[in-house]
Structure 1
Amino acid sequence: MNRWIKGAAPVLSTLLLAAFLWTGCDILDVENPNNLIEDDLNNPAAAGPMANGAEAAVARALSFVYAPYSVATDEMTWVGSRDAWGQLDNGVIDFPGNEFSDQAYPYVGEARWMTDEFAKRLEAFREQGAGNSPAQMRVYLYKAIIYTTIADMFDDFTISDRTEPGPPVGPQNMGTLYDEALSAVNKALALGPTGELEAALLGMKARIVHGKAVWQKVNPVDTANPLVSAGAAEAAAALAKMDPDFRYQMVFDGGFQLANYMASEVNNRLEFTFTDTWVRRNAAGNKVEEVTYPDMIDGVVHPYLQEVIETYVAEREYSDITVVSAREMHLILAEAALAGGDMNGFTTHINNLRALDGLSPYSGQVDARQLLIESRAVNLFLQGRRLADLYRFGLRSPEWVDTAPAVTRPGTFLPITRIEIEANPLVQ
């Protein structure tokens, strides 16, 4: 397992400060690090701390936006006291005033702005002959992650510059955010990354290409032809650089005061938890007793899902978020083969995945498409992919009510929320 993020402070006013303190108080030769101002970021010595600050901002944004997204799927269900979680759980995803999607929106916008801003600054340093390639590659990676997340999870978004409002991208144009993400990855790869950073970047490239193809299947929803073949070449290239069970994760750390908001809501506040599809819960219904979801061939509790859920519970508010993995590369390759009618290829790739958990190889025992769907559900659990899969494969959460947008308008994702609507005059 590979972990990169080391954590940083949880609010924007301290994200940069924590990043500077992490690398040394004298990094910018200031008398008091608490007096850092924006002009200090013009110093090329700030490259590493900027990368750290962007890292923490993206980690925090994911922890907030994965919460409403996951509750809106069949992965999580509302068990607490806050009605807005119940609204999401029932499939009412598009309400701009939902307090939890509204809460997440500024964090996502902040991370998007920070990665864009820091990428520009590091590009300027390089043009001046004072570049820092490792920091620049990391910032490009974080930019790719947040742009991909926005495209995956929102129906619309605004690209503003702090106090300068930007217009909505527009629902029909949200797919272009994958292009922004891909551009960032390609810029990073051009700088010659090696090791785990190269593997993470190549994995993100495959995820972005595949993700855009999936986006096209749910805008509008195409349940008649839901499979995509995009991303296969990129996934193969990524696997060649990855350890067998490589996972690139955003890591949350109490030492740097960066907690996973979603994990805290599950493990501390008990507002929502894993659905009965995956686990057996306690008598109160708000805690996991045991993981129960079986592998559809062997009938045993799926080992990877068991690991993911048990680790999530054990790590409490510091549970990590997997962004991209070798498992996802196998899934992309298996889907591409199935989409092209290549059953031998599908069998090879799905069995490469199953071998990671010591599961029996697939040899036609079950329907291939259903095996792909369930393999994606398990191996991408809590990674922000599930809602699009529910839509494109014609599935639904058992908690969705018949009148909810998730049912009446499949393909509905998170909206531009109230906080942005009220602050941005360009949002109608």
Structure 2
Amino acid sequence: MTAQRRRTLIGVNAGIFLAHIGNFIWFPILVAALGGTDSGFWAGLVMCMTYVGRLLATFSYEGVAARAGIRGAVFLGTALEAVSLLGMGFAGGVGVYCALAFFIGFGSGTAFPGLKNVLVSYPEDERPKAFSTFQMAAQVGLFGGALVGGLLAGFDLRVVFAIVFAIFVGFCLSASAFIPKHGFEPATGEPAPEPERQERTPLFSLKVFKGIEVRGATAYFTLSAVFWFLEMCFIVGIPLHMQHFAPDLAPSAPFWVTGLTLLVLQYPLFKLLIKHLPPGTVMAVGLAGMVAAFLAFGLGQTTLWVLAGCFVVVLGEILFAPSFDMWVARKVPEDRLARAMGAMHFFRSAGNMAGALLAGLMFDLAIDADMPGAQWLLVAGVAAVCALICAFSREEADRDPAAAEPEPATAGTK
């Protein structure tokens, strides 16, 4: 790896590290604050708007990058995110929070694909190291942000978001300062030249929708959407749960457990299971961990049960997410892989939006009905159904979907 690509990787990893620190400082604090002053539904709606912004950014990223370059897209997206976060500290009313949350998501949805594009542009033999260090930087940032968020839990929101703003300014500078304008040439590893001027790319395009349907795989993308729905039910629901049942702990305390567990277990546990089990079975094990966690949250609402549930809920992220990515990479034919990546992002965003919105609503309904914890039992049932689908259809999940969908001109042949 040349010195320039090494500096770029350091800048990108520093940026994603700072981004995760900032995000895991503010969102548990804000969700808990809104849950206490307004309701769980409004707290969930604010978080949902960040994912609406991220989803819509996918329709404009290509146009922004074509005009400003990859480096410019990262800078503009991060700057928008930073300014919107600063506004959060001085906002008043849920409507303003929702508007700012949309721009936070839109900025994130513009900057994050730019960072991924930089890593994809590395020579093929350097990509595994680039992506592994990127993932590790994100997980360390998650853990660090949760710890810092615990220290800032009692502070005024203006102070909290001013600190987060400063962190995102650091993200903006570190991630964009070392990035070549158009990334690298994978063949040579040198900075890519200015692309030849072609037909002007629209600033907003709906052609992303063309990649959503991937025959033979769409059912599994729908399953992944349900997984991210469950993941978001935890991320939004647990600060509300802590505020109500464990107010002595910081709202970010559950993420201390999840962050540390991810750091310690993610690579060795996934490597061990994927070596001996097919991806479908590994996904089922991850979902079973989520079932156990949701039952713990619903049936035992003390601090001890919460922390125990947080320890096993991360099995979903440790096992399901990488197993699903591996299944897609192995089983979707290469000529449809680009479409599959777009479909994965769409279904993930859809699941995140639904989970963020419904987590707060289900919490409110459970409290109003004097059935605290009922929402966790409901999502535990959903996770259990998904685990059974993965476990009993693993042979189907491991079968090449192309074999079931011959091309019209060559039906019956491979």
Q: Same fold (TM over 0.5)?
A: no
How does the TM-score come out when normalised to structure 1?
Answer: 0.27
Q: Pick the structure with more helix per residue.
A: 2
How does the TM-score come out when normalised to structure 2?
Answer: 0.28
